[in-house]
Structure formats: C-alpha cells, structure tokens
Amino acid sequence: MKYTKEVKTALLAIVAILLFIFGYSFLKGKNWFDSSRTFYAVYSDVEGLSPSSAVTINGLRVGNVTKIGFLDVSGRLVVTFSVDNDFPFSENSVAQIYGGGLIGGKSLAIIPEYEPGNIAVSGDTLPGEIEEGLLELVNERLTPLQEKIEDLIVSADSLVNSFNEVMSPATRKDIKNSIASLNATMVSLNNSANTVEEVLDENAPKLDRTFTNLDEMAINFSNFSDTLAEVDILKITEELEATVANLEEFSEKMNSGEGTAGKLVNDPSVYNNLERATNQLDALIQDVKLNPKRYVHFSIFGKNPGPYSPPGDSLK
C-alpha cells in the first residue's frame, strides 16, 4: 500500500505536533507516560518558584513543580507538583520552598513526617512553608549594617559641616600664625640646646672637678657619719642630764637664798650696803680730787694746807 505525498506530509505534521506537545509538557514538568503522585500546597508568596522546579526529599530529587496559579481573589497561590518516587510520607509533611541563591532558582522540598496510617496520597494538599533564603539572610544581616552606615555618613557629614564652619578664613590664618610661631619656638629651642651643649663642652673640666669634690664630700660625710656612730651618745646624754640637774639645783638654792650667791641675790641689805659703799668710795675719790693736799702733804716749812672744801659742794 502506497501513500501519497500529501498523506505522508500530514502524518509527519501530526507526529511533529505530538512531539512538540509532548516536549513542551515535559519541559513544564508534566510527563504523560509516568504514574507519579500529584500534590498541592498553598502559599501567599512563592518567592520566585517556577514550573519545572525540582521537588526533593532529603536532598534527593523526586519530582517537579508542574503548575503554579492563583487560588482565589485574595492572591494566594496554589502550587501543583508531582512526586515520581513512591517514598511514603504523612499528609502532615511540609512542602517548603527553599534555595534562591545568587545564581540558582527556588526549589520545593518535602520535609517528611512519618505517621503510620496517615500516609499522603495523590491529590492531598500539604502544608506550605517558605525557608529563609540566602538573599533574605544577607538582607537581614545587611539592613542593620546599612542603617549604621547611613547614620555614620550623616554624622560624618555633620562633622565635616561643623569643621568647615569652625575653619573660617580667620581661624585658618590664626592656625598658620600659630604653626609659624611654633616653628620659631622650635628654632629658638634648638639654638638654646646648641648653646647649652657648647657651655657644657667648655665647662666639662670644671664640672668634672665639681663632681670629684662632691664625691670627696660624700666620702668625708660618710667618714663623719661613721665617727659620729662611734660616739657614745648615751654617755653624753647622761652627762648633759647631770649638768642640767646641777644647774637646776643651783638655781633652786639661788632662789631660796642658800649660800653666798643666794644671799647676794635675795638679801636686799647686801645690795644696799654695796650701794652705800659705792657711794662712799665715789665721795672719797671726789674728795681726793678736790683736796689732794689733805691726804698727801709735803711741806718743808710746815705751811697750812688751807681750808677744807667738802666734796659735796663740787658735786652740785
């Protein structure tokens, strides 16, 4: 039986269309020749999960996401996914969206729960959950840092503005003058240091002799200290105490009128007698001066020495 070119062309077109439909369905995660189980999960946000994304259990790929669509007018999304593996898990197992690195997309992981007698079957809806991805973690960590950096930039900007306000032209001029004065002071100090160094160099021999004399003085002082240490301080102290006691005893006898010195100090008659004797001696000396001939007379012819003139008249 021969086919015409038109029939062959039609058959080829039909086969091509079927292959195209099959390939498109396969790329979307739908395989018409397998008996995989189909499950559903509801999310408020699928975080970039797309059809044909991998479905894994404990890291092992067991299926694909086949469809994502809106559940109702609230905007919630229902994810349809197939599981090729016949691994049993409970209907309370969580369908968790995870991944979302810098390059790779999102995937769906089934976190199995093992409850005998409550095994999930095709058509069940599993609880949906979203794992915090790498980008979310980075954003979570970087957000406080970003806020701190922004605050730091604001503070730095305020500091720069304050610095610009303080550093007015007059202030900059004053700072330049201060630096110039400081340089002049440093030059003066350097010159003074050079002068002091020259003076020290010139007087080095004198300083050496001075330090030598100081060493000799220190040695002499040390010798004097050794000599002083050998002195019997206790004996000297006892002699001083005895001398003080004798002086106190003598002072008490003087005050009480005992002995010649005590009577001389405490008896007023002694003072009066001394005063009278002094007055009489003074009168005698005056009389001798006024009438020397009365006491010393040399006369060959026995001449009368003349009238007596009492010393009291000359004293008036």
Query: Could you tell me if 63 and 18 lie in one domain?
Result: no
125 part of a folded domain: yes
Q: Which residue has the higher pLDDT, 267 or 74?
A: 74
* Residue 3 backbone phi and psi in degrees, to 5: -105, 145
- Least confident range from 111-120, 180-189, 261-270: namely 261-270
Quick one: average pLDDT of 68-72? 91
Q: Which residue pairs, CB below 8 angstroms and at least 24 apart, start in 231-237?
A: none
Query: Could you tell me if 13 and 40 lie in one domain?
Result: no
Percent of the chain with pLDDT over 70: 78
Q: Which residue has the higher pLDDT, 310 or 108?
A: 108
Most confident range (mean pLDDT) of 190-204, 226-240, 244-258, 263-277 is 190-204
Q: Given pLDDT bands bounded at 50, 70 and 90, which one contains residue 96?
A: very high
Q: How many residues does the chain have?
A: 316
Query: Could you tell me if 43 and 85 lie in one domain?
Result: yes
145 part of a folded domain: no
271 part of a folded domain: yes
Query: Could you tell me if 18 and 85 lie in one domain?
Result: no
Query: Could you tell me if 64 and 112 lie in one domain?
Result: yes
Query: Could you tell me if 29 and 116 lie in one domain?
Result: no
Mean per-residue pLDDT of the chain: 79
Q: Count H helices, E strands: the chain?
A: 9, 8
311 part of a folded domain: yes
pLDDT of residue 57: 92
Q: How far apart are CA 282 and CA 294, in angstroms?
A: 17
Last residue of a domain, one of 131, 152, 181: 131
pLDDT of residue 315: 46
Q: How far apart are CA 160 and CA 283, in angstroms?
A: 111
Query: Could you tell me if 26 and 81 lie in one domain?
Result: no
Q: How far apart are CA 277 and CA 263, in angstroms?
A: 18
Three-state DSSP class for residue 54: strand
244 part of a folded domain: no
Query: Could you tell me if 123 and 90 lie in one domain?
Result: yes
Domain range for residue 313?
267-316
Number of domains in the chain: 3
Query: Could you tell me if 73 and 2 lie in one domain?
Result: no
Query: Could you tell me if 10 and 45 lie in one domain?
Result: no
